[in-house]
Structure 1
Amino acid sequence: MCRHLAYLGPPRSLAELLTTPPHSLYEQSWAPRRQAGGTINADGFGIGWYPPDDGAGPVRYRRSVPVWADANLPGLAGLLHSGAVLAAVRSATPGCGHDEAAVAPFALGRWLFSLNGRIDRWEHLPADLEEPLTAAELLGVEGRCDAALLWLMLARRLVAGRPAAEAAAELVARVADARPGARLNLLLTDGHTVTATRHGDSLWYRAAGEQVTVASEPVPDQPGWHEVPDHSVLRASRTSAAVDPLPTVGPSPAEPSAHAERPASA
């Protein structure tokens, strides 16, 4: 399991977003309050951010050490500013790699991705989903872990032109059908929008003015946080946020979407 966060809005320092707020993502690495599985996130951390030049792709800083063990992070976090950030602290699934290549965020083009979750028997998942992967795709996987494999399957859909929320929701529904006990909180951004699923662990968002923050856990005593219902997908931009139920798979058709729209000024 992990804890993660995404932010879109006016440029802010990484410290303001990740290390200095009460119960920050930094603190959640050793003292999460709402985590469904595991008690500590010490198997690495990663930060992805978009430089001020809108045409530039994301930059990543990833380590396989606990976030509190990186003496360089406080200085970097205070200096670096961005209006689009995705970061995660990691608790590795047993059987997964422990090097930096297995640490989120994963990237493709402008996309950044993180998984807060766990998938048992993840190595057999493509076969169980009847989704064969090519040798080139498998050789190109960044890390040996459930999150990297899930990202490969999601990235295929994005490259094929599927909308992010549709692709993420459909993949979560299929994986949940094959692995009923899986926790599948996905977090995805292209620097302009954020897509997140809640399936098995906590997820919150806060929209205020022209900014939105999506996080595993809210900042205490900060108004405007909304809990995303379990089995839902969130679509957010700097000015709006919408929540829909995840689709179902199998013989029963999905229920019609109960669309809930909430403006960023709420």
Structure 2
Amino acid sequence: MCRHLACLGPEEPLGRLLVEPEHSLYRQSWAPRLQRYGTVNADGFGVGWYAPDDPQPARYRRAGPIWADQSFADLARVVRTGALLAAVRDATLAGADAEAAAAPFAAGRWLFSHNGAIPGWPGSMAPLVPLLPPADLLSMEARTDSAFVWALALHRLRSGTEPGPALAETVQQVAEAAPAARLNLLLTDGETITATAWGDSLHYLAEPGLRTVVASEPYDDDPRWQEVPDRTLLTASRAGVVLTPVEDLASVPPKEPCT
């Protein structure tokens, strides 16, 4: 559930990537082509982007469908960036936490999105709660499975884990507690993109030295789009893309509670 996209490339208007392509993320909000779960992504949307010389991204998020927001149409036409992460949402529980539940989530230089769902939420995640400091739980932006996954990944990032292992270990940990979980995660700091394919579609378009796009599904019919195999971790920069099996990067999840 949900569709998301991250891009590193030349500075250009948001709408060049998110609205103008024939099968853009904007259109995927009501007519996705490859979405395996759900059919309409109308439960909120968001975009985060980086301005020159500012490592902390700006965000614009709303609880309603992207097509109903005239302010976004203006913003997408005039705001320019060389790095962004955007998502349209099909909520597990419609209306839960409204705008606060819309990706991208943010902390410092990071932007994050989760495409998927955790069966049995929230009970299935109860065994993982002791692994997070209480302050992290209390500061979650929303009471959703995606926000909880972000808290787990962010805790690892703040502890010094590199982005690839941080996402891989988070996916393995959540999947151990909820084996049917779908965990396509997307993370960027404006210089790199890290993503997992775990239960839903993921693709990338690499133009080395110019642009790298990672998306739930292609926004056009360019034959250079490549599908990411399931249970794979993707790491990317403007120079290119590297694919690695998730299990090759995930260490044994910690068992002791955090304090």
Please say whether Structure 1 and Structure 2 have the same fold, judged by a TM-score greater than 0.5. Answer: yes
Segments of 5+ residues of structure 1 without an aligned counterpart are 252-266
Residues in 2 aligned to 1:170 and 1:140: alpha-carbon distance in whole angstroms = 22
Residues in 1 aligned to 2:189 and 2:12: alpha-carbon distance in whole angstroms = 17
Segments of 5+ residues of structure 2 without an aligned counterpart are 253-259
Residues in 2 aligned to 1:203 and 1:221: alpha-carbon distance in whole angstroms = 15
Residues in 2 aligned to 1:250 and 1:84: alpha-carbon distance in whole angstroms = 30
Residues in 1 aligned to 2:214 and 2:189: alpha-carbon distance in whole angstroms = 14
Q: Which amino acid aligns with 1:37?
A: Y
Aligned to 1:214: 214
Shift of 1:71: 1.0
Q: Which amino acid aligns with 1:102?
A: A
Aligned to 1:259: none
Shift of 1:176: 1.3
Aligned to 2:255: none
Q: 1:121 to 1:236 in 2, by over 3 A?
A: same
Aligned-partner SS, 1:129? helix
Aligned to 1:231: 231
Shift of 1:131: 4.0
Is the contact between residue 233 and residue 245 of structure 1 (CA under 8 Å) also seen in structure 2?
yes
Residues in 1 aligned to 2:188 and 2:13: alpha-carbon distance in whole angstroms = 18
Aligned to 2:256: none
Is the contact between residue 119 and residue 178 of structure 2 (CA under 8 Å) also seen in structure 1?
yes
Aligned to 2:240: 240
Shift of 1:181: 1.1
Aligned-partner SS, 1:244? strand
Residues in 1 aligned to 2:137 and 2:73: alpha-carbon distance in whole angstroms = 36
Q: Which amino acid aligns with 1:134?
A: P
The reply on whether 1:161 has 2:169 as its aligned counterpart is no
Aligned-partner SS, 1:17? helix
Aligned to 1:106: 105
Identity, in percent, stands at 53
Shift of 1:250: 11
Aligned-partner SS, 1:77? helix
Aligned-partner SS, 2:153? helix
Aligned to 1:199: 198
Shift of 1:130: 6.5
Residues in 1 aligned to 2:118 and 2:95: alpha-carbon distance in whole angstroms = 11
Residues in 2 aligned to 1:167 and 1:111: alpha-carbon distance in whole angstroms = 13
More helix by share: 2
Is the contact between residue 126 and residue 133 of structure 1 (CA under 8 Å) also seen in structure 2?
no
| Runs ≥4 residues deviating over 3 A | 124-127, 129-132, 248-251
Deviates more, 1:175-184 or 1:152-161: 175-184
Residues in 2 aligned to 1:146 and 1:226: alpha-carbon distance in whole angstroms = 28
Is the contact between residue 14 and residue 82 of structure 1 (CA under 8 Å) also seen in structure 2?
yes
Shift of 1:226: 0.6
Shift of 1:96: 7.0
CA RMSD of aligned residues (A): 1.8
Deviations 1:104-132 (A, max 9, x none): 00001000000000002232354323643
Aligned-partner SS, 2:195? strand
The reply on whether 1:84 has 2:90 as its aligned counterpart is no
Residues in 2 aligned to 1:105 and 1:115: alpha-carbon distance in whole angstroms = 8
Q: Which amino acid aligns with 1:89?
A: V
Deviations 1:201-222 (A, max 9, x none): 0000001132100000113321
Residues in 1 aligned to 2:228 and 2:124: alpha-carbon distance in whole angstroms = 27
The reply on whether 1:185 has 2:184 as its aligned counterpart is yes
Q: Which amino acid aligns with 2:77?
A: G
Is the contact between residue 29 and residue 42 of structure 2 (CA under 8 Å) also seen in structure 1?
yes
Shift of 1:223: 2.9
The reply on whether 1:71 has 2:43 as its aligned counterpart is no
The reply on whether 1:133 has 2:132 as its aligned counterpart is yes
Deviations 1:76-127 (A, max 9, x none): 1010000000000000112772411111000010000000000022323543
